[in-house]
Structures are given as structure tokens and as C-alpha cells.
Amino acid sequence: MNIIFMGPPGAGKGTQAERIVMEFEIPHISTGDAFRLAMSQGTPLGLKAKEYVDQGLLVPDEITIGIVKERLQQEDCGKGFLLDGFPRTISQAEALDSIMADMERKIDYAINLVVDRKLLLDRLTGRRICKKCGATYHVLFNPPKAENICDKCSGELYQRSDDTAEKVGTRLDEYINKTAPLLDYYRSKNLLLEVNGEEEIDTVTSNIVKILRGQVQ
Ligand code: ADP
Ligand code: ADP
Ligand code: ZN
């Protein structure tokens, strides 16, 4: 099963992806995680990405597409994959189509998590991430059992430097200008399925699972 998760920053893509990849045993491919890892290691890719990520801007297509292409060719993607946060521009979507065609594969579902813009600022500024395993929490909406400690691995939680009110504004503008047009792209291919992302985390997960199991059209 080859799946794309779409939706604005803070819609719940990462949270749902963590759960869906466990259920379906496919790799979770997050371009945001890939950039953050490269940035923390200070690699040439990380240094380049940092110029954009720190400002809340999208990283240029040629850099982003290269990373995804390489990742999709790895063996563990043979049984399927979940792309979280890619594609985010029309040219990324076109590149993905051609990567899929070269591999004689196709996208099965593009799931759009629908959340009203006014909820996103609170979701993003309260988000916390585990330093060790990358699990996502929220100080109010999905708090860890012990403050600032990951339930899964006891790692320390941190706040992303782009999860500030100032950067969130730029990121949402980038989403509206460059990523939202992709919804029509996938709608016209009959691949787009919309899920209400404002419901409880568990409810959203079970609604996605139903779609992926073919119980909902
Ligand atoms: P994205 O990957 O789309 O940017 P995340 O999955 O990181 O979004 O979620 C953003 C924040 O909102 C996180 O702090 C997460 O814990 C919280 N969150 C995710 N889904 C929900 C939900 N259904 N209800 C309330 N809070 C949520
Ligand atoms: P969120 O889901 O909260 O927007 P991500 O972790 O997916 O955050 O992305 C963080 C940042 O990484 C983005 O603001 C952008 O700078 C960069 N990024 C991630 N995915 C892409 C992409 N497909 N194209 C360009 N830049 C990206
Ligand atoms: Zn952890």
C-alpha cells in the first residue's frame, strides 16, 4: 500500500503516521524528519535545508525530490510506504508520479487531514517531540504521562525551533500558496480522501484505518 498524508502543518500527519505504519507495517517517510536529522548532524544537506526550515519556508524542490527518490528505492519500501509531508508542491507531485512510473508502481491513497486554520497555532506551539525516538506529543491535547519524558522510550522532549507563533504564520502561508493546490491534483486523479482531523486522535486513526482497509469509499 502506497500512501500519501496531506494537510497543513499541525493537522496531525506525524501523529497518525506513527500509528498507521505500525498497523500496516510499512516505512514512515517524513521529509521534515529527514531534514531535521541532517540538520542535527550538520551534513551539507542539513546546512542547506536549515536556511529554509529555520525561516518556515519550503526547502527547494530539487533537494527534496532527490532525498525522496533515494529513499523510495530502498528495499523496505517494496511492500509499500507512507509519505508524510511529501509532496508539498505540484512539481514534487509530478516528480513522484515519474518515480512511481519508473518503478512500475502507483500511489493508492492521498489522505487529507482537514483541520481549520484557527486550531493549528495552538497545536503547533504546544507540540513537543522526543529527542530519542521522534514521537510527537502535545502539552495539553496529548501529554506524556510524566512531564517532558517520552512514554515510549523515556527520552527527553523538546520543542521544534520552527514551532513558534512567528514561524507558524510563514509555514501556513507556504501551505496555502504552494501545497493546497495539490489537493485538486489528487482529487482529479480520484485518489484524494478527506478525513476530519479535528476529532480525537484515536477516532482519526480508526477512520483512516477504515479507509485503508477499503471499508469506506
Ligand atoms: P503534522 O505532522 O501534521 O504537522 P502533528 O502530528 O505533529 O502534525 O500534530 C501537531 C500537534 O497536534 C502535536 O502536538 C500533536 O500531539 C497534536 N495533535 C495531533 N492530532 C491531534 C488531534 N486529533 N487532536 C488534538 N491534538 C492533536
Ligand atoms: P509540519 O508538518 O509541521 O509542517 P514537517 O516536519 O513536515 O512539518 O516539515 C518541517 C519543515 O521541513 C518545513 O517547514 C519545510 O521547511 C521542510 N519540508 C518538509 N517537507 C518538505 C517538502 N516536501 N518540501 C519542501 N520542504 C519541506
Ligand atoms: Zn521517545
Among 88, 123, 128, 167, the active-site one is: 88
CA–centroid distance, 191 to ligand 1, in Å, is: 23
Ligand number with the minimum distance to the CA of 120: 1
pLDDT tens for each residue of 160-178: 999 999 999 999 999 999 9
The phi, psi pair for 59, rounded to 5°, reads: -70, 145
165-174 vs 117-125: helix axis angle to the nearest 10? 140
pLDDT tens for each residue of 170-207: 999 999 999 999 999 999 999 999 999 999 999 999 99
What's the confidence (pLDDT) of residue 214? 87
88 counts as catalytic: yes
CATH of the domain spanning 2-26+79-115+173-216, picked from 3.40.50.2000, 3.50.50.60, 3.40.1080.10, 3.40.50.300:
3.40.50.300
123 counts as catalytic: no
pLDDT-flagged residues of the chain (< 70): 216-217
* CA nearest ligand 2 atom 16, residue: 53
Task: Tell me the pTM.
Answer: 0.96
The answer to whether the CB of 133 falls within 8 A of the CB of 155 is yes
13 counts as catalytic: yes
